[in-house]
């Protein structure tokens, strides 16, 4: 008979006493899997993680700034709505029995604008299944009821300096991990929050289980990095990877798991028998996704420094993550408000035949002109904005386009007007091009477009001590006050010495030397570039500068003032480029076919690095 060491035997007894034997493992590590990167993500991730992930916690990230506004609109129509119903009915209901049996605890920001209704809906499902489910709710992020108080503070947009608009739809603070940890401490099986930073759904469980202090800034930074690497669902496991051709079984895509140690170090992996891959490349891409200055990645609980994070492939589909550092966070929460700014519509149609791109552009311009002629008859102003694209003619590449005359393209017409009536008139005029325009106009994809509201983002900072956070559990509501963090001291990392570059006669695509990943924050696009080999980075740094990137993406900027910032992440041999006002407003405020800059990283892979030595020689 084998005997267990005293500590493990004690843990074993606890598991048997509290009915948690199905989860007993000879490990003090915590395993957390993320099953959702956005509202609308696949529900098939849940059973794979629940049955194959050996999880302690299952987390879900559903919210974006625009999602909050859409949920606010839903709650206006029905006071019982305002949360993401997918969480209750698609993710939890079919898997709740297995989640309970395996003693997996759940954290989700599915509450949106109405966390209590989300909790009530989940409790109703559990009751129907005869499952005893303890649900806690975190609230306090919704500042819309205090709109006038906020307005009296003369709040300014943190990027543009503008005043708070009159027609605000939603206004939510990004809360941290503290109240989530408190809810887990109380004993909740499921914690439902409203708006919090995406990484908090992972950091909260780690703070609770490892009893980390909010003075343990390096550990908080590592836990936040674990959350950042999980928060976008399948991306760390090979989703939208630069080397997409290496990915297998897209239909059965794996979702990431972080196995975390008490000292903060963790590994990223995925469930067995699932598609995708977990490599230094896939994890690096997610690390640079949608960040600004990697030395000062601001979160409510810690100011993270990711510049010297180290990634190591320790096994197939297992990457070890080390080296994030933490600094004292700000005394302010970031708050994102959304507001209405008129209406939009987008018409999309294939155009076929010789000189298809030319025909598409002429047809699009004629539709715009004819619509504005109709507006005059009804006393309406012209469009505030229009955007015409010919997809297939590489217009997204601007002056870097290589496509010549093609015989089939897609015409894209997007318009913006203050009046919904004007958008309806535009919609009626489009179809006339099928008989009164250039030949080859085939059909309107999705039919005549409908007017949809334009929602814009307004972000500002708000004092933490003015926000009242509540944790509701077992019929009781308690206030949560974040711990005051002491000043931290950091030792600056010395700049590495640079050796002279060897010149050569070779030209390489950036994609041959690096991975790329791009994303958005409002109207700002970031593009991360990760060298495939450390020896490549000096050459990439030499030619991929702020000026050359601004020139390459010149056509994306909204004004002549092209603002590009470059940051270094030497730990993963990477650069991060931040392009301001490059997305035409961003999100649903943009009229472009790529409103979130998702394709920018792919476009940059065709950037040419010239006068290079042979890269095989560099790797030796």
Q: What is the DSSP string of 139-174?
A: E--B-GGGHHHHHTTT-B-TTT-PBPPS-EEEEEE-
pLDDT recorded at residue 89: 97
Which residues fall within 8 angstroms of residue 173, CB to CB, at 6 or more apart? 140, 141, 143, 195, 333, 334, 335, 462, 467
pLDDT recorded at residue 21: 36
Looking at the DSSP assignment, which residues form a beta bridge with residue 521? 524
Both tokens assigned to 165? 């608009």
> What contacts 24+ positions apart, CB below 8 Å, involve 239-244?
239/276, 240/285, 240/517, 240/598, 241/277, 241/281, 241/282, 241/285, 241/515, 242/281, 242/285, 242/511, 242/515, 242/516, 242/517, 242/601, 242/602, 242/605, 243/281, 243/515
Instruction: Say how many residues make up the chain.
Output: 620
Say how far apart CA 492 and CA 158 lie, in whole Å. 27
> CA of 86: how far to CAs of 34, 165, 398, in Å?
15, 31, 39
Cβ proximity of 235 and 287 under 8 Å: no
42-60 b/e (C-beta count within 10 Å ≥ 16 → b): bbebbbbbbebbbbbbbbb
Looking at the DSSP assignment, which residues form a beta bridge with residue 284? none
Helix (H, G, I), strand (E, B) or coil at 496: coil
Residue showing tokens 């496509």: 403
Cβ proximity of 460 and 156 under 8 Å: yes
pLDDT recorded at residue 12: 43
Say how far apart CA 121 and CA 86 lie, in whole Å. 11
Pairing mode, if any, of strands 318-322 and 266-269? antiparallel
Give the E-state strand segments of 5-101 in sequence order: 30-34, 57-60
pLDDT recorded at residue 558: 83
| 308 CB-contact burial (10 Å; exposed 0-12 / middle 13-18 / buried 19+) | middle
Q: Please report how the helices 420-430 and 356-377 are oriented relative to each other, as an axis angle in degrees rounded to 10.
A: 130
Give the largest Cα separation in the chain, rounded: 92
Say how far apart CA 297 and CA 199 lie, in whole Å. 12
Say how far apart CA 224 and CA 264 lie, in whole Å. 10
CATH class of the domain defined by 339-456 = alpha beta
Looking at the DSSP assignment, which residues form a beta bridge with residue 526? 519, 578
Phi then psi dihedrals of residue 439, to 5 deg: -70, 150
Both tokens assigned to 533? 């080999």
Both tokens assigned to 146? 């205090």
Say how far apart CA 174 and CA 231 lie, in whole Å. 15
Report, as ranges of residue numbers, the positions in the chain whose pLDDT lies below 50.
1-26
Taking the C-alpha atoms of 501, 504, 509 and 511 in order, what is their torsion angle to the nearest 10 degrees?
Answer: -40
Domain ranges of the chain: 30-140+175-329, 339-456, 506-617
Give the E-state strand segments of 361-441 in sequence order: 385-391, 408-417
Looking at the DSSP assignment, which residues form a beta bridge with residue 163? 156
Say how far apart CA 132 and CA 143 lie, in whole Å. 33
Number of Cβ atoms within 10 Å of the Cβ of 220: 28
| 8 CB-contact burial (10 Å; exposed 0-12 / middle 13-18 / buried 19+) | middle
Say how far apart CA 116 and CA 138 lie, in whole Å. 9
| 278 CB-contact burial (10 Å; exposed 0-12 / middle 13-18 / buried 19+) | buried
List alpha helices for 63-133, DSSP H.
Answer: 65-77, 85-86, 96-101, 115-128
pLDDT recorded at residue 15: 44
DSSP 8-state symbol, 88: I
Q: Please report how the helices 178-186 and 200-210 are oriented relative to each other, as an axis angle in degrees rounded to 10.
A: 50
pLDDT recorded at residue 551: 96
Q: Which helix (H) or strand (E) holds 6?
A: helix 6-17
pLDDT recorded at residue 5: 46
Pairing mode, if any, of strands 57-60 and 30-34? parallel
């Amino acid at each position: 008979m084998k005997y267990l060491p005293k500590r493990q035997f004690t843990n074993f007894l606890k598991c048997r006493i509290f009915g948690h034997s199905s989860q007993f493992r000879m490990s003090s590590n915590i395993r957390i899997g993320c099953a959702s990167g956005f509202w609308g993500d696949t529900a098939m991730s849940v059973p794979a993680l629940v049955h194959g992930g050996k999880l302690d916690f299952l987390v879900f990230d559903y919210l974006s700034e625009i999602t909050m506004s859409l949920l606010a609109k839903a709650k206006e129509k029905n006071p019982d709505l305002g949360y993401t119903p997918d969480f209750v009915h698609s993710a939890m209901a079919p898997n709740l029995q297995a989640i309970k049996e395996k003693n997996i605890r759940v954290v989700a920001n599915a509450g949106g604008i109405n966390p209590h209704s989300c909790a009530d809906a989940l409790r109703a499902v559990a009751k129907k299944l005869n499952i005893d489910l303890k649900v806690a709710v975190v609230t306090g992020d919704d500042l819309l009821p205090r709109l006038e108080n906020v307005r009296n503070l003369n709040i300014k947009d943190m990027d543009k300096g503008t005043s708070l608009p009159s027609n605000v739809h939603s206004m939510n603070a990004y809360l941290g991990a503290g109240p989530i940890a408190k809810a887990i401490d109380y004993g909740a099986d499921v914690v439902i929050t409203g708006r919090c930073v995406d990484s908090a759904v992972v950091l909260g469980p780690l703070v609770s289980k490892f009893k980390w202090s909010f003075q343990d800034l390096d550990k908080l930074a590592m836990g936040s990095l674990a959350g950042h690497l999980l928060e976008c669902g399948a991306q760390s496991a090979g989703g939208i990877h630069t080397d997409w051709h290496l990915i297998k079984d897209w239909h059965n895509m794996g979702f990431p798991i972080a196995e975390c140690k008490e000292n903060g170090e963790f590994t990223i992996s995925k469930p067995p028998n699932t598609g995708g891959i977990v490599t230094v490349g896939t994890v690096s891409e997610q690390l640079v996704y949608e960040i600004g200055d990697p030395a000062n990645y601001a979160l409510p609980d810690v100011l993270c420094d990711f510049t010297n994070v180290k990634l190591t492939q320790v096994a197939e589909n297992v990457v070890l993550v080390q080296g994030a550092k933490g600094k004292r966070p700000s005394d302010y929460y970031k708050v994102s408000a959304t507001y209405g700014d008129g209406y939009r519509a987008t018409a999309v149609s294939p155009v076929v035949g010789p000189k298809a791109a030319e025909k598409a552009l002429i047809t699009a311009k004629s539709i715009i002109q004819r619509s504005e002629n109709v507006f005059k008859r009804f006393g309406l102003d012209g469009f505030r904005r229009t955007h015409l694209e010919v997809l297939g003619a590489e217009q997204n590449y601007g002056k870097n386009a290589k496509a010549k005359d093609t015989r089939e393209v897609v015409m894209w017409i997007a318009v913006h007007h203050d009046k919904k009536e004007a958008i309806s008139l535009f919609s009626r005029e489009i179809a006339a091009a099928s008989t009164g325009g250039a030949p080859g106009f085939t059909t309107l994809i999705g039919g005549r477009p409908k007017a949809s509201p334009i929602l814009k983002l307004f972000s500002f900072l708000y004092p933490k001590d003015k926000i009242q956070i509540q944790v509701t559990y077992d019929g009781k509501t308690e206030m949560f006050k974040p711990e005051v963090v002491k000043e931290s001291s950091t030792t600056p990392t010395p700049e590495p010495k640079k050796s002279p570059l060897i010149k050569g006669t070779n030209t390489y695509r950036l994609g041959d030397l690096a991975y790329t990943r791009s994303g958005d924050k409002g109207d700002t696009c970031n593009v991360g570039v990760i060298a495939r080999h450390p020896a490549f980075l000096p050459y990439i740094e030499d030619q991929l500068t702020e000026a050359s990137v601004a020139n390459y993406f010149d056509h994306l900027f909204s004004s002549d003032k092209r603002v590009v910032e470059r940051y270094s992440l030497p730990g993963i041999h990477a650069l991060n480029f931040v392009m301001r006002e490059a997305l035409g407003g961003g999100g649903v405020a943009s009229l472009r076919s790529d409103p979130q800059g998702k394709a920018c990283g792919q476009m940059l892979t065709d950037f040419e690095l010239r006068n290079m030595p042979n890269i095989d020689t560099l790797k030796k």
